[in-house]
Structure 1
Amino acid sequence: MSQRKRAASSRRSKVIPMRLDATFFFERAVQSLDRYHYDKALKYFRRAVEYEPENPVNHCNMAGILSEMGRYEESNVILRSVIDQIDPAMTECYYYLANNYANMEQYEAAEEALVHYLEHDEEGQFLDEADELLDLLGYELNRPTKLSTIKSRENLYAHDKARELLEAGRFAEAVRMLEEILVRQPDFVAVRNNLGLAYYYMGLFDKAISTISEVLEAEPGNLHALCNMAIFYQHGNQESPLRELLEKLRKTVPFHPEHVFKLATTLGIIGDHREAYRHFRRLIRTGELANEPSLHHFAAVAAVNLGRYNEAERHWNQAQKLDPNSSVAAFHLRRLPQVRSGEEKPPVHYHYHLPFEEQFRQWETKPGLVSEALKQDPLIRSSFFWALRHGDRKTKVQVIQALGLVADEEVIESLKAFLVDPKEEDELKRVAVLVLRSIGVQDSLSVTFGGRPLTLEARRKSERLPVWDSSWQIVLEQALEGMSGRYDVVQQHDMMTLWVDYLSRVYPEVPKLHKSSGWAAALEYWTAKMHRRTVTYSDLVDRYGASQASISRYANRIDEACGIREKLDLTSPSFRGKK
């Protein structure tokens, strides 16, 4: 080969072929835009469209250039073709249309396009710009624009509503709403955090742990999730992971007041009152939340647990000054001398409300007050649901009975969930069943008794009892005690149902229950007969300490109201002889 031919061959091998595709023309268009060469940019975007005619982005780019050049009508034709023919889901085209119409001074058309964008676009890429355009259109049209919703903000609005439900103690509703949001937006961390709390308040401990663990997998440093998990660990007596987490929380110094408050209350609940007090004092000193009476109350609780009684008194006085209508600070100030002397224990609950024992003492003579408070005060309502899961046995009994005075859907769902929790005592569940029946819940109930699931059959509807008297409860408890070990759960449930049925029929003319043991024995008597079990008055007299005459008299009263003999066909002489 000659030298000239070799040189030519060498030059040809060094030529890099140019690949002409949509990307090439897109890059050329962008370079032209950077130099403000709109004509060239438009030409290159047209070529990009020719190479990829089904790509809506190329069309939108071309429409954007035409809009920049003031050729709004041509731009709109392209945008309409994208919506009508290429990709109807490309909702940002409506925002571009609205801008074009506004520049053409066609304000009503601009408003129509903008409303469509806001109500259908899920991403919200141009929300700030849309707000500015709404202001302009409102000025030009001399009226506000009517919007039914802003699609991209729906999850935010729904989250705010769910938080309100959570704070109001309506946990089941909050859970449903939060779960729906996560289906639409799985990466919404705040929603997952609140969902974990809602599960916890409902007693779904494992689901709460699992949900908060998902938050920490996505954001290991999420303070709200770390605090929630610490409380969950304490509730579950998981000491080892709690210690490890506490070390991390004690080293955390948050900046935002909301985070400081969350950390402080968490440490207090866990029992680290010293660290909690340090953060509460920091919040008070910085002044961010210094006018919040609850903050001073929490600081006082931490201080009194540290033996710093003078500081606790000062904080409670400040809380009372900031919230003179509340009785919380006054109550603790009255108790403070007894706490100082060691006669009473300091409060340990970080809640801005009276202790349950004090609330029930105030309400026991006026049942209507507790009903009104539970319906109107979200803080009291949520605290009652919390106590249903985490209070002591006495408190739970009081709470179950108090919730029966409200008897709304949330109460019913919470009591039903309580019935299937294997960790709750069977006796408490019997009280819950009684309350549910007394407020008119007559459908079948799923219950876990003695560690095994059961279904209590539906009962016919009886007149709702507007109150539940403590004397009625005494009769019930004596009957349950007398029947314990002799009757199964279903038979005990039937006894409770009979008692509610009797009270419902005679209310409000309920007789004075001076001899509760005789009434309890009469209930067992009829329960035994309903289940074809042998029972004698002698057995009942020995077990309940009531006279045979009293038991017979009360059994007849129950029969007169409920018609048990007629239903069981027990009117024959042979039956009467088997008493």
Structure 2
Amino acid sequence: MEVPTEMQRKRTVVERDKTNIVSLSMNATFFYEKAVHFLDRYQYAKALKYFRRAMELEPENPVNHANLAGVYSELGDYRESNKILKKVLDEVDPSMTECHFYMANNYMNMDLFESAEEALVSYLEKDVEGQYLEECDDMIELLSIELNRDIPIKKMKSKEKFFEHDRARLLLEEGKCPEAIHLLKKIIKKYPDFIAAQNNLALAYYYIGDYDRTAEHIEDVLKVDPGNLHALCNLAIYYRQIQEENKLSELLQLLSKTYPYLPDQLYKLAMTLGLLGNHEMAYHHFLRLIKTGDEAIEPSLFHYAAVAAFNTKRYEKALNLWKQAKNLDAKEIVPNFFIEEFDKLITNQHIILSYHYFLPFEEHFHMLGKWKENVLNEWNTNHIVRTSLKWGLFHGTMTNKLQVLEIISFIQNKDVEDLLRKFLLEPTEKDKLKRMAVFLLRTMKASEPYEMITNGEKLNIDLLPLSNKLITWDEKWHLIINAALIHMEDRYDLQQKYELYTLWVHFLTMKYPNVPKINKPKGWSAALEYLIAKMYNVEITYREVSERYQISVSTIKKNVDLIKDNVL
């Protein structure tokens, strides 16, 4: 029997195992992901190799060329980087105007300042999106110093629309969605290709619950730019909202294989994955952002990374990240809360933290109109909301404290009463806040007296009077307050209701002992509400308040004028 040679044995093994070979798809995406892997580890030579291979497989994709140019720039080969970037602009995709900015950076590093100026001006005059406007400001300043003259820029194309777009984004962040929608629609009408505005308009419609228009504007973006990451992330959030689980799962598979290079895209992806519950990938993406070493990193980024770490049960890492956030700005309320309450939070292994940079209760405060009916249940069942409410009342900003008082005014149980009584004994708290707490205790019908420390002295106080001049109190005066508060219930917040009370007491104090005779109590209640509405820019008319209180306009106006003449 012939014995097989070594080569024959190897061939036999290979042939026998052919059926078990798993096909590996080595397309451009594969090499791109490998390149990003090595780039994150600062292994530029290997990243260069894989980015070059991705470019060879997809030569028509300008991003592959730009990535390759970026690695050459990191390696200090600025000439080769610019050679590739120029090819993108001349042959591959002239609309990729950010390449002018990358070239300007490279010229700066080569001390070729006039060439840098030319590339920078080209970027500012041609680019519509304006992604690097802040960096351009710094570069313009440096070039002015080096060239000893001003940099002549005739027109900054992107800034024409960015000022209004920034205003719209600010409105969106403040929860003023109708105003943001109005402004974004105006911007898009003028600049129909402004994709960032389209994406934010989709978000604005999502926030107000208009999901049909949300989908419409996401589709508009994806028709023009099928790979737009911001739109794809918005689409994923939309799918979750309408419970399209199959479509969401398919899209999440795509997003989980996406490795953005640009910081704003990486941030959007990390936040989206976190909101959708993929905390593991969100954690790694947030860490990638932190590792960029950008000097402009905000404390909020460390917080988001800490939330992702906490939600993946990396508790010590989460605590360290919150401490890093605090080190960036010791006055930041959010990291302070999570550091101080950390030991309590980790006792509940089922807590999932939210990806928002404010105290946990604030998320509910911003949607208080929808949350009022459920506020007591949240207090009883949501440990982190209850903890943050208590913490916010004693350690938060003035705004936080007002928000807490507003929220707990809808709870009104023994726990809240005890919390408010404890707050009254805090020696460093402002008297106005304590007076509001007393006002709240009174509306809860908590038993008097109320012990309060004021000016270092503990006093047994009643809410009334606020002035020593008002030595008597007519029960009719209190009925006027109660009637106004009933009408104001769902229209005004706690602070505005308290201001109505103080306005009435101040008026009585100014008129005492010659207080007007109270013949029509509703007329005084209506007048007080009207004045508070005007003070806080709440839309109101004499006719409207007249109909609600069932009292004549002339009576209300007469009382309004009398109060204004004596107090305002």
Q: TM-score range by the shorter chain?
A: 0.3 to 0.5
TM-score, normalised relative to structure 2? 0.41
